[in-house]
Structure 1
Amino acid sequence: MQAQNIASSTHEPLKTLPKKPFLCTHMHVFITSLNSGSNGNCYYIGNEREAVLIDAGLSCRQTEMRMQRLGLSLQTVKAIFVSHEHSDHISGITQLAVKYKLPVFITSKTLQNTRLPRASFPIRSFQAYEPVWIGELSVTAFPKFHDASDPHSFLIDFQGTKVGVFTDIGAPCEHVIQHFSQCHAAFLEANYDDELLEKGRYPYFLKQRIRGGKGHLSNQQALDMFITHRPSFMSHVLLSHLSKDNNCPDLIRAMFAPCSDQTEIVVASRHQETPVYRISAERAVATV
């Protein structure tokens, strides 16, 4: 895997950085958000040999372009895991899975609520709390509160380095808290600001769906979980799935900054990829 766009403290993902090889280690995990928002979600987690995508809500072309800009290869991706059936999480699956012959891991209930062409690529089922091994990556799903048929979040473990994907969550239940407290890095939903949602243009029923316990995490809920349950060794949090209308990157960044301590706070964009971050159980760092 190439490494020309690795950053630890910049929020400018399209900046071209000089090429430099990763330090030799077998414990690093590389993560990036290729896109995060209601217009498409796709998260990359992998080591130097294999990787997985959590959801594939971008087109195949956009996924390829963004990974290429980051120096990542889709040949490294060995599987796609589906959190739930909403279109912003699955719209790119068919093209990607067919072109790259990728197995798609999805629960039977979620599959029943999609229009995925079942004969076009390998479909594999997963069960909550039963690890799926993709090479040396262990992917464990667990249930969450969301208004979908069978929604799950994921914990990816590589030789003790753990990365969690916690988005599309209506409330921080015990499943989420238990796994978040184990993570060296996490994609954590911060979907909306309470005041912006309340005063915004959304109809009442939609506001209730978002904040009603099976919708999305607010900025305050995300911050409370971060403050209360963040482990001391967590090095990166990628704040994810920000609402276009009911949130603001500067607002959420300002909320987290006084509490960040040694954890780097990254706001994942709904328009472009983040840098690739190198996460380690020893301490997550990034080399440029």
Structure 2
Amino acid sequence: MPLFITSLNSGSNGNCYYIGNEQEAILVDAGISCRETEKRMKRLGLCMSKVKAIFISHEHSDHIRGLSVLSTKYQLPVYITPQTLHYGRLDLQQNLVMPFMADQPVQIGTLTVTAFPKFHDAADPHSFVVTCHDTKVGIFTDIGTPCDNLINHFSDCHAAFLEANYDDEMLDNGYYPYHLKRRIRSDKGHLSNAQALNLFTAYKPAHMSHLLLAHLSKNNNCPNLVSDLFTTHAAGTEVIVASRYAETPVYTIAGSAIIPKVVPPKVDRKKVARGKANIGIQQEIIW
């Protein structure tokens, strides 16, 4: 059974991702207003009545800004960890709060949602993988460094939302103060273009049909630069840059149980985390 995915918005001004099938869907994060979520879904021909739950990755405002209104209006359960709920200071109906735990699958109709911890400067941050039968989609943003869990899940996905937050040179030459640049680059900050590209090239499975590059910095990145960089190494995967201003089209993701998992090349995972793995890419392109 295929999955239908779109980024309703992606960036520091708000994040919201839709993953569903013909019967039901979920949202990962609700960082744009309820009204804007409704408008964008309507333009895409998506129905709010199919959305059965919202999963929250962490408590930063660009991931929860529209959550309370959206959840209350549509009586949507919110899957959220106790720490994220506490530090997000959210006004949610108690009966709609559903705690989740890492590596314990949550069943939403025919969708299986599994969370795993990630490195980010939040109380209890998680990434998610959504599975429907033989189709698997990952939502991997707001990550300081690729951990083994991320690498393992990424190498299994038929599609993924993957953070490519900043270009190293643009960040170096930009106006951000030193402490903020250091935070962005830290192991609890964000993935650079180089880190994301190394992860993509080293661990992309042969069956990955779509990659949506997400959470681009407004000031330290360029959509055209990122698109050109990843498309050069796409090897059959369609690369889409998710906008911070509008929704993407809806993409159909269809898995196949008969496609073998390709064993990725041996790569130093520490170098992947730093964006410096030797994967046959000219260094001047990615560093």
Same fold (TM over 0.5): yes
TM score, norm. by length of structure 1: 0.88
Bigger fraction of residues in helix? 2
What does residue 77 of structure 1 align with? 51
What are the residue-to-residue correspondences of 1:200-279 with 2, within 5 Å? 200-279=174-253
Alignment-mate amino acid for residue 197 of structure 1: L
Aligned with 2:232: secondary structure?
A: helix
Q: Give identity over the alignment, percent.
A: 63
Aligned with 2:88: secondary structure?
A: coil
Q: CA deviation at 1:118?
A: 3.5
What does residue 148 of structure 1 align with? 122
Q: Provide the C-alpha distance between the structure 2 equivalents of 1:28 and 1:73, rounded to a whole number of angstroms.
A: 17
Task: After the TM superposition, list the runs of 4 or more consecutive aligned residues in structure 1 that deviate by more than 2 angstroms.
Answer: 118-121
What does residue 124 of structure 1 align with? 98
Contact 1:98 1:120 in 2 (8 A): no
The answer to whether 1:189 aligns with 2:163 is yes
Note the alpha carbon deviations across 1:161-181, whole angstroms, 9 max, x for none: 000000000001111101101
Q: CA deviation at 1:114?
A: 1.2
> Of 54, 60, 67, which residue of structure 1 is paired with 2:28?
54
Q: Provide the C-alpha distance between the structure 1 equivalents of 2:116 and 2:94, rounded to a whole number of angstroms.
A: 27
What does residue 3 of structure 2 align with? 29
Q: CA deviation at 1:119?
A: 3.0
The answer to whether 1:165 aligns with 2:139 is yes
Note the alpha carbon deviations across 1:94-118, whole angstroms, 9 max, x for none: 1100000000000011111012124
Count of equivalent residues? 257
Q: Provide the C-alpha distance between the structure 2 equivalents of 1:140 and 1:82, rounded to a whole number of angstroms.
A: 12
Aligned with 1:113: secondary structure?
A: helix
Q: Provide the C-alpha distance between the structure 1 equivalents of 2:74 and 2:237, rounded to a whole number of angstroms.
A: 35
Aligned with 2:216: secondary structure?
A: coil
Alignment-mate amino acid for residue 72 of structure 1: L
Higher relative contact order (CA closer than 8 Å, sequence separation 6+): 1
Contact 2:71 2:92 in 1 (8 A): no
What does residue 78 of structure 2 align with? 104
Q: CA deviation at 1:186?
A: 0.1
**Compared CA separation, residues 44 and 275, structure 1 to 2 (3 A):** same
Q: Provide the C-alpha distance between the structure 2 equivalents of 1:182 and 1:55, rounded to a whole number of angstroms.
A: 22
The answer to whether 1:67 aligns with 2:41 is yes
Alignment-mate amino acid for residue 50 of structure 2: T
Q: Provide the C-alpha distance between the structure 2 equivalents of 1:121 and 1:171, rounded to a whole number of angstroms.
A: 35
Alignment-mate amino acid for residue 193 of structure 1: D
Q: Provide the C-alpha distance between the structure 1 equivalents of 2:53 and 2:173, rounded to a whole number of angstroms.
A: 41
